[in-house]
Amino acid sequence: MEKSNGLRVIMFPLPLQGCLNPMIQLAKILHSRGFSITVIHTRFNAPKASSHPLFTFLEIPDGLSEAEEKNPDVNLTITLLNQRCVSPFRDTLTKLLQPADSETEGAKERITCLIDDTQWIFTQSLAKSLNLPRLVVSASNVSFFLGHFSIPQLRPLTYLPLQDSEKDDPVEEFPPLRKKDIYRLLDGESETLDALLNLIYKTTKASSGLIFVSCSEELDHDALIQARQDFQVPIFAIGPSHNRFTASSTSLLAPDETCIPWLDKQEDKSVIYVSFGSVATIKESELLEVAWGLRNSEQPFLWVVRVGAVVGAEWIEAIPEELMERLKEKGKVVKWAPQQDVLKHRAIGGYLSHNGWNSTAESISEGVPMICLPFVWDQMLNARFVCEKWMVGLHLENRIERNEIDRAIRCLLLEAEGEAIRERMKLLKEKVGASLEENGSAYRSLEDLVDQIKSF
């Protein structure tokens, strides 16, 4: 850490795994540049304070019941949090901003700004009333952030039957998605989302700046140009930011550390890593298709199956004992993994991924080609980028079938097409890595962000 600059930043992460990780990464970056960090967080999905002893953590009540915490409707959860956190957050922030009593507290660091998630929509008016600059963080890539504001106008499309001949038609309002992606993206998404998006757009435009923690010019150049035109606020693309620090625990789940000794015993670039992230769920029948696909490929694998990821099951008890014994011959199944350490490992040759943006950016940073099986939200767009724009992966197109999984794994690890994909991924890794080096685009953007925060 640089010498303290006497400035403190207040950070307020949204309590979802995919949003919490980038916020804590940003906190570590700013702390390394001399800023003191206070993290205000909800009781729901509270970050592990003991993993970050140099930060100050303040918990506020969020008013969610146990049933509401388990509700799979993420948009409803975000809406409820925005309603119920107003008073406790205002009280906590106001107290922090009170002048220090010099006789009892000594000199107090100056709070320079609030940094929170774009989806915290109540905080903009509060920050303005307190004369506190507010910067917002997006955990997605820039193209998805821009495109997802078109969802309300695209929603009527999903009320019409989609003909087979139309499935692969591009969606001009939301490139590079196809019509079949839009139908999947909006399937199950409540119209609560439309009102939320309108408020996110307005409060982002009213903010003092927009930060993309895991994206850079090299990954989404054209969308950044468009975003600067649309929002007319400073935009900082400083990522993939996880590369600036060794991995540390921001996971809400405990990783199985036996992964690494197991990988140590495998040959270079021989293992397919399989993980569908912290949100996606699959049916028991789909679990079995993945299991058979991995076994039939006859390639070593490390498979993460999160507790609760299989609908109606505790874990993997639906896999018959005989198949489980055959899986153990080639692979390892765990409940959670230290993903950054896994992707860095020399033994990993490919990643069968749900394509959440954090996972996609981490895979690119380590040069690991992907097999794409997106489930929800921005994952559909990320998979299109991986397979069609950067051409560093294979797309399963929602086919959770043993033969398709077997074919894709063999292609990626053993065939000439897979080798060509690996070479393109190597070049993309180098390009993105260079952006973090001195005078690279992400490096310069971070310098601009630091200067901006100091100027408040």
Residues 212 and 350 occupy one common structural domain: no
Residue carrying the six token digits 């036996």 = 258
End-to-end CA distance of the chain: 21
Same domain, 357 and 398: yes
In a domain, 307, yes or no: yes
In this structure, the answer to whether residues 281 and 201 fall within a common structural domain is no
Residues 128 and 73 in one domain: yes
- Domain count along the chain: 2
State phi, psi for 410 to the nearest 5 degrees: -65, -40
The contacts of residue 240 (CB under 8 Å, 6+ apart) are 214, 215, 216, 361, 362, 364, 365, 432, 436, 442
The reply to whether 198 falls in a domain is yes
Residue located via tokens 């394509």: 355
How would you class 155 by CB atoms within 10 Å of its CB: exposed for 0-12, middle for 13-18, buried for 19 or more? Answer: middle
Task: Specify if 183 maps to a domain.
Answer: no
pLDDT digit string, tens, across residues 174-191: 999 999 998 888 876 666
Q: Which domain holds residue 441?
A: 7-149+190-248+437-455
- 54 and 137 in a single domain? The answer is yes
Identify the H or E element spanning 162.
none
Q: How far apart are CA 62 and CA 77, in angstroms?
A: 11
Report the C-alpha gap between 443 and 436 in whole angstroms. 5
Q: Is residue 168 part of a domain?
A: no
The long-range contacts involving 197-204, CB below 8 angstroms and separated by at least 24 positions, are 197/148, 197/149, 197/151, 197/152, 198/152, 199/121, 200/118, 200/119, 200/121, 200/149, 201/149, 203/118, 203/121, 203/123, 203/124, 203/136, 204/118, 204/136, 204/231, 204/233
Give CA–CA dist 275/298, Å, rounded: 18
pLDDT at position 381 is 96
Asked if residue 129 and residue 219 are part of one domain, the reply reads yes
Question: What pLDDT, in 10s, does the model give residues 284-301?
Answer: 999 999 999 999 999 999
Radius of gyration (C-alpha) of the chain in whole angstroms: 22
Q: Does residue 291 share a domain with residue 413?
A: yes
3-state secondary structure of 260: helix
Question: What integer pLDDT is reported at residue 103 of this predicted model?
Answer: 45
Residue ranges in the chain modelled with pLDDT below 50: 102-106, 247-248
What are phi and psi for residue 393, nearest 5 degrees?
Answer: -165, 175
- 238 and 449 in contact (C-beta within 8 Å)? yes
pLDDT at 245: 61
Same domain, 441 and 427: no
Residues 344-399: tens digit of each pLDDT: 999 999 999 999 999 999 999 999 999 999 998 899 999 999 999 999 999 999 99
Is pTM beyond 0.85 here? Answer: yes
| Burial category of 260 from C-beta neighbours within 10 Å (exposed 0-12, middle 13-18, buried 19 and up) | middle
The pLDDT value given to residue 70: 83
**Which pLDDT score is estimated for 250?**
59
> Is 18 within 8 Å of 48 (Cβ atoms)?
no
